[in-house]
Structures are given as C-alpha cells and as structure tokens.
Chain A
Amino acid sequence: MDFGFLQNLATGFGAALSFNNLGFALMGCLLGTLIGVLPGIGPIPTIAMLLPITFGLDPLSSLIMLAGIYYGAQYGGSTTSILVNIPGEASSIVTCIDGHQMAKQGRAGVALGVAALGSFFAGCVGTVFIAAFGPPLASIAQEFNAPENFSLMLLGLVTAVVLAHGSVIKAIGMVLVGLLFGLVGTDVNSGLTRYTFGVSELWDGIDFLPLVIGMFGIVEIVRNLERGTLPRAQIYTGLRELWPSVQDFKDSWRAVLRGTGLGSILGILPGGGAVLAAFASYTVEKKLAADPSRFGKGAIEGVAGPESANNAAAQTSFIPLLTLGLPSNAIMALMMGAMIIHGIQPGSAVMTKRPDLFWGMVASMWIGNLMLLVINFPLIGIWVRLLSVPYRLLYPAILLFCVIGIYATNTNIAQLVMTAVFALFGYILVKFECEPAPLVLGFILGPLMEENLRRALVISRGDPKIFLESWISIVLLALTVLVIVLIVLPQIRKSREQAFQE
C-alpha cells in the first residue's frame, strides 16, 4: 500500500486550515444545521437554498462551505427525527424509529450524543477512505475516453434509478426529462440554440438554481402548508445528559463500526448514498441483535448504526464525483452543479490539475465533522428552541431567503419567473408520485452524455460497436445490463419494496 496519501492529506490540511477556510467550514456547518433542523426541510432543499451564498467565494472556500452545509443539514435532520419524529428526508426515517422512542423515554440527549459521536467516527473513517481510494480510482478514470465515459454515465443513471424509491418507470422518465432539460440552450457543436423559445435568458441553458430551488425548496414549502399543522416539538426531559453512559458505549460501539463499514462501501455505489446505508445498517443491527424485539422501542444500536452509516456514506459518495465526475445521487448533483458554476469540471482532472482543491476538500470534510461535534454539543439547546418556532412564522422567512438568494446571484427577474415555473412543474409531478431527484441527476449529466456520445461515434464513424471495444466500457455496460435484469426480476423488486417499507 502506498502511503503517499498521507503526504497529500497534509497538503490538503495546509489549504483547508487557513483562517478563512476554517471560518467558512464553521459557517457552513452552522447554517446547514440551522436550516436542516427546521422540520420538513431535508438536506436537498437546505443545500439548494444555501447554494447562492457560496457563489461569491473562491472555489475551494465555496466547496468547503458547501460540504459543511451538507453535513450540517444531515445532522440537523437527525436532530429533528429524534426530537420531533419528522424525518427531513429518507435517510433519517430509520433514525426516527428508535431515536424518537429514546426521546420519549427521556433519553433524547443520549440519542443525539450517540448520533453525533457515531457520525464523527464514521466521518473520520470516510475521509480516510476517500484519501486512500480516490487516487487509484482517478488513475483508472484517466484511461477513460468518450465511450467509457458514456457507458459510465449510463451505469450511474440506471443504478440511481433502481435505488431511488418509488416507481422505477417514473424514475427513468424523470431522468430522461432531466437529460432533455439539460440540453436547453446553445449547442456547443453547431452553435444553434435549442428549446430557447426566443428567450435570451435560456441561451446559456436552464439555470441550475431556479430549477433546484423551485423543484425542491418551494415545492417543499407548499407541501408542508397543504399538510396543515406540522406537529410542534414536544421537548422531553433528559436533554441535559448528552454524553452516553458506559453501558451505552458498550451497547453501541459495534453498531457504529458495522454502520461505518456498510456506509463507506454503499456510499460509493451510484445511487447509493446515505439513504440506502441507513436502511441497510438498521436491518443488519436488527438481525444481529440478541433481542430484536427491543428495536422500535428505543434501542440505542438502532440510532448508532444508521447514523454512522449515513454519515460514512455521505462522505464516500464524494468518491465517484471527485474521481469519475459522476454524481451518484441528487445531493452530489447539487455539488457538481456548484463546481461547474465555479468553472471546475469534476473528474479525475481535478486531482491532477488542482490537487490543492481536491485534498483541501477532503481535509475540510474531516474538519467539518469535527466542527459538527464541537458546535452541536453546546448548541443543542438553541436547535431545540428553534424547533419549537411555529411553521407559520418560519416559512415566509425561508421563502424570502430563497427568493433573495436567486435574485442576488445575477439580479435577473427571469430567474424568479423560472423558479415559479419549476415550482409549479415540481408540484404537479409530486402529485403524480414522481420524485424530482432523478431529474436533477439527468439535468446535470445531459450535456456531458451528449458530448461523449457524439465524440465516441465520431471516432467510430457512427458504429455503435465502439462501446464494446475497450474492456472498461464492456464491464460498465455489462454491469448496466445486470442492474436492468435485476429490476425486471419480480422477486428482487418485491424485496426492494420491503426494504423501503421497513
């Protein structure tokens, strides 16, 4: 094994530990937790809303801040799950089960403490994972040409669809619509504009911010409003003791280890990420437990395992993005969108051309995790008080911040009109049970897929056999076919549904 990555990590810490960057990491974690803790707002809308404030920074600082926002949002979501039993998003559904029971038994503090400690441990392991596996993967990716890139994106999209919850057919449809939306604007090859309807604002393509804030942030607000009164936080006693007891440590350390392992591996898979990791970890803990009946009644392993798993996966899901340029889930698509706005095309080239950026970000992930631990123990009381602010006072503020964020990035009113259009579109789709996340993945990958397909076919003069001429491409396509076969097999579909119901 090559220990050169330690040297690289040192460079990264050098870049990330500057006073400014530490400040941005802290601010990101704080803001992420602040928004993420609000009931009914998951990590995706949180990141979408906070994206604009990172645009004015230099690329490294902005990525550091974004990563901080991401971890903060995720941790904030766990807090809401435990205290109010409202999961911000799918990855914290499992935390609700036992976490909220613990809160009811007066052990909310311990649940939050275990979640924070487990997440921190998982975050550390995840960071080392990225540092160790990033460079070898990136050197494989350097061998990639147009055909391999196309096959890789195909595999990524297909896997993402399978692992998204809800109907597979609808998810495929949403990916395709996203790809089509991604093509709006000037075609780089011919210089012609496509689907711009004479609107000059569309010449550069559909803007990322109005799309994600409209479809996630605004739709979320409308959905919360139509659901009527959100349950107010019931603050149970026992918040004062955050530090788990010796017995709690004994009960949970194995779960943390297993969750971290599972999460680190599952996070790398396209479409995997935090959700799958949390579900898998909960299932494993329940299977391995001496007395499975404790689960659902406040078993500490049921919090420690999934919370570690989703944080480990949150880390390692950066691997495909940073090394292959492939966002493995909607959150990574947001990160990729942000990087593109800064003029960085994620992929293996980042590591070779901007090592400070790559390693600085890896280092900042660890710093972000440490900050979460540091800020959450003293600040938990504030988050709890925030939870008890009624939604009727919160949503106008959230809406206002979204709108200012969109408008201030380029002071163009067309952006707001587009936000409204995408909000309407997203709302209609939600009514038909179509998840917007696959659309964002397609949207980000649309232009890249077209360009790689075009280049591959130019090389082969239109012969599609070029995709079967390199072993990398063959393996990727074989995996794609395998995944499709797995969806079609009804047995597997059934167990997949079960897994999501559990």
Chain B
Amino acid sequence: MVRVRSPQDLGAGAVFVTIGAAGLYFGQDLAFGSSARMGPGYFPTILSYLIIAIGLVLAVKSLATDGPPIERFSFRPLFAILAAILAFGFLIERIGLALTAAVLTVGSAYARRDVNLKETLLLAAGLALFVVGVFVYGLTQPLPAWWGR
C-alpha cells in the first residue's frame, strides 16, 4: 500500500498535471511547426509537457518525503465572496450601483457566521452612498447609479 506522506505536494502535483494535460488536449489542433518555423502550438506544447513533468515530480515527492497536511477548505467564506462577485456582475446593469453595492455588502457579510444584521445594513447603506458619490459622480465612471440610469 502506497502511503501519501506529503498531501500538499500531491495536491499541487495533481493541479499541475491537470493543467499540463489540458494544455495538450486543447492545444492539439495547433500546428507544432518546426524549430525553424515555430507554429502556434510549439511553445504551448513544450510548456505543457514541462508542467506535467513538474506535476509528476511533485507526486513522486509526496510519496517519498513527509510534509504538512492540507489545511481545511473553508467553503463558507470562499463561496460567499465568489457569489457576491458574481451577483455584482449580474445585478449592476439591472438595478444600478447603489442597490448592487448594498447587495454585495450584505451578501459578503454572510461569509462570516455571526452576522449582526443591523450593523451590516447600516454599513451597506453607508457604502452604497459612498461608492455612488465617489465612482459615479466623483470619478464619473461608466456605472449606472440607479436602475434605468
């Protein structure tokens, strides 16, 4: 039975091998050419093989040497923040910056567990006013302040 002694290295190795393999797979239609006339696939193919090689070295290393365990993934902050970013993109043209900013603030606040709703709403209102004032009216960025402009 093979024992993984350095999980972080194995994880990194897996990421690299995946990226390298993807580089080869999605680059297979690009002409490799020759050294004298490098095609669009020449450099990417070489890089992909090197990345796979690095990944394999890490995988072997993970079996041979001891390393620290992988730190736990915290899904709550990660997904709350990512969702807030995507929500901003979805909402900005629809309801304008003021409301979107408030939604983002409240949404991202739920990246933490103990949310004080009253405080968060105050913060959301304050930030919404601030960014509309600064970005829309101050810096005249191309952002709608309200829905329907």
Contact = CB atoms under 8 A, between A and B. Distances in A.
A407 B86 CA distance: 11
Give the interface residue-count category, chain B.
35 or more
A454 B68 CA distance: 42
Contacts of A453: 38, 43
A2 to B, nearest CB: 41
A461 B81 contact: no
Given A183-B43, A417-B89, A424-B82, A457 B70 contact: no
Contact of A407 (B30, B36, B82, B89): B89
A360 B38 CA distance: 40
Contact of B78 (A172, A192, A222, A404): A222
B54 A169 contact: yes
A136 B74 CA distance: 51
Interface in A407-448: 407-408, 411, 413, 416-417, 419-420, 423-424, 427-429, 431-434
Contact of A413 (B39, B89, B142): B89
A416 B92 CA distance: 11
A440 to B, nearest CB: 16
A229 to B, nearest CB: 10
Contacts of B105: 396-397, 400
Interface stretch (A85-93, A174-182, A277-285): A174-182
B143 A180 contact: no
B85 A413 contact: no
Interface residues of A, number: 62
A218 B86 contact: no
A400 B81 contact: no
A424 B26 CA distance: 21
B58 interface: yes
Contacts of A449: 43
Residues of A contacting B: mostly: helix
26 contacts: A53-B139, A169-B61, A173-B16, A173-B54, A176-B50, A176-B54, A180-B19, A180-B51, A192-B30, A194-B30, A195-B27, A221-B81, A226-B74, A396-B123, A396-B127, A397-B123, A400-B101, A400-B104, A403-B84, A404-B143, A423-B81, A428-B15, A432-B12, A432-B70, A453-B43, A460-B36
Interface of B: 8-9, 11-12, 15-16, 19, 23, 26-27, 30-31, 34-40, 42-44, 47-48, 50-51, 54-55, 57-58, 61, 68, 70-71, 73-74, 77-78, 81-82, 84-86, 88-90, 92-93, 97, 101, 104-105, 108-109, 111-112, 119, 123-124, 127, 131, 135, 139, 141-143
Given A195-B23, A397-B127, 17 more contacts: A56-B139, A177-B19, A180-B47, A192-B30, A192-B40, A225-B112, A393-B123, A397-B123, A399-B81, A399-B84, A403-B88, A408-B142, A416-B89, A432-B8, A432-B15, A458-B37, A462-B36
